[in-house]
Amino acid sequence: MTDVPTRYLGELAVSAQGLGCMGMSHGYGASDDAQSIATLHHALDLGVTLLDTADFYGAGHNEELIGRAVAGRRDEVVLATKFGFANRLGEPTLIRGDAAYVRQACEASLRRLGVDHIDLYYQHRVDPRVPIEETVGAMAELVRAGKVRYLGLSEAGAGTIRRAHAVHPISALQSEWSLWTRDLEAETVPVCRELGIGLVPFSPLGRGFLTGRYSSVDGLAETDVRRGQPRFADGNLERNLAIVAKLDELAAARSVTAGQLALAWLQHRGDDVVPIPGTRRQRYLEENLAALDVGLSAEEIAAIEAAAPPEHIAGSRYDATSLTFVNR
Ligand SMILES: NC(=O)c1ccc[n+]([C@@H]2O[C@H](COP(=O)([O-])OP(=O)(O)OC[C@H]3O[C@@H](n4cnc5c(N)ncnc54)[C@H](OP(=O)(O)O)[C@@H]3O)[C@@H](O)[C@H]2O)c1
């Protein structure tokens, strides 16, 4: 493993790969805080600077956990968090982007994280009832007040990104992007590049599926959100496994893992791309970081893409309700 290189999200310098922290509190079954904190410290020791959380993850638990982990090491970290889901997991989704909510959410995140500023503050989902100008205007006020350094959006559509960027520079777009979710490549990525906005692919391992670790949902906790996701549903999961089998073959030929190939493919999409694979384990963290050392030729990239043609992916990336909140 060489040193982790630096990439830029707009003007914000970050490690070329970040660490997604959601699973440490949310979505993927029970977690062990001591194990998560050890993984967070190991990430910092290895040169990962970008830690990704949100107020929604574990209803504040994730921010508090990260706050504990970075206490005394604040200067080593680029802290990214998000606001926007005003409900708890399991309750009907309530997105809020009004100015009063933005201010209130930021104060609460600062308190839970135990810091005086957030490095990258994202709107988690666009609130269709509130003009983006109001939301980003309130976020820009936080920058002027020194509470936030840079702004980001998550799952915003191209038109919204343009309007937001006209109010205050947007540094990063965090949206789902992986070998099995390539929707944003047609319109959104070109707009971000035109405006100098960095790209932060979330769920870059397809929620773990692209690593080949899941051949059924049987081992997943009853509360694991993947049980409700169409791509993990009976019938779809089996068809999607055919993609992983092909990735496995390509990975074996390079003596790497399928997950490393999936991350290397994303990293080769441009110098402005900073994936944030999520893990609670030091072993996976090391494996994922080692993907930074996997160079790919144009032929290999073509072969990887041919292994996962979008028309062969079975099932949508979210359920019907959650799909209404993305790309808008
Ligand atoms: N903006 C948004 O709306 C949004 C939505 C979803 C996620 N995110 C962010 O993106 C981050 C990453 O997304 P994600 O966690 O959903 O999906 P992901 O990174 O695609 O996959 C995470 C899953 O893969 C497993 N995994 C990680 N590395 C592995 C390896 N090398 N081998 C085998 N399994 C491995 C993890 O297991 P363990 O946890 O058991 O180690 C976890 O179950 C999140 O943590 C969060 O910060 C943002």
CA 161 / ligand 1 centre spacing (Å)? 25
Q: What is the pLDDT of residue 2?
A: 52
Task: Establish whether residue 171 lines the binding site of ligand 1, counting it when its CB lies within 6 angstroms of any ligand atom.
Answer: no
Pocket test for ligand 1, best of 279, 282, 324 (most atoms within 8 A of CB): 279
Burial (CB < 10 A; 0-12, 13-18, 19+), residue 301, is middle
Closest Cα to atom 23, ligand 1: which residue?
A: 208
Ligand 1 proximity of 259 Cβ (cutoff 6 Å) = yes
Active site residues per annotation: 57
Q: Does ligand 1 have an atom closer than 6 angstroms to the CB of 68?
A: no
Q: Which atom of ligand 1 is nearest to the CA of 28?
A: 43
Q: Which of 1, 284, 324 to mutate to test the pocket of ligand 1 (most atoms within 8 A of CB)?
A: 284
Distance of CA 138 to the CA centre of its chain: 23
Q: Which residues have CB under 8 Å from 42's CB, separation 6+? A: 282, 285, 286
CB of 26 shorter than 6 A to ligand 1: no
Which ligand 1 atom minimizes the distance to the CA of 280?
Answer: 41
Q: How far is the CA of 232 from the centre of ligand 1 (A)?
A: 15
Å from CA of 137 to ligand 1 middle? 31
Pairing of strands 148-154, 118-123: parallel
Q: Which of these, 163, 160, 120, lies nearest to 276 by C-alpha position?
A: 120
Kindly state if the Cβ of 211 falls inside 6 Å of ligand 1. Answer: yes
Q: Is 39 in the pocket of ligand 1 (CB under 6 A)?
A: no
Q: Which atom of ligand 1 is nearest to the CA of 283?
A: 31
**Residue from 175, 167, 200 nearest 78 by CA:** 200
CB burial of residue 104 (10 Å; 0-12, 13-18, 19+): middle
Task: Give 214 Cα–ligand 1 centroid separation in angstroms.
Answer: 13
pLDDT at position 90: 84
Q: Give the phi and the psi of residue 7 in degrees, each rounded to 5.
A: -125, 165
The per-residue pLDDT string of the chain (328 residues; one tens digit each, 9 = 90 and over) reads: 558 999 999 999 999 999 999 999 999 999 999 999 999 999 999 999 999 999 999 999 999 999 999 999 999 999 999 999 999 888 999 999 999 999 999 999 999 999 999 999 999 999 999 999 999 999 999 999 999 999 999 999 999 999 999 999 999 999 999 999 999 999 999 999 999 999 999 999 999 999 999 999 999 999 999 999 999 999 999 999 999 999 999 999 999 999 999 999 999 999 999 999 999 999 999 999 999 999 999 999 999 999 999 999 999 999 999 999 999 9
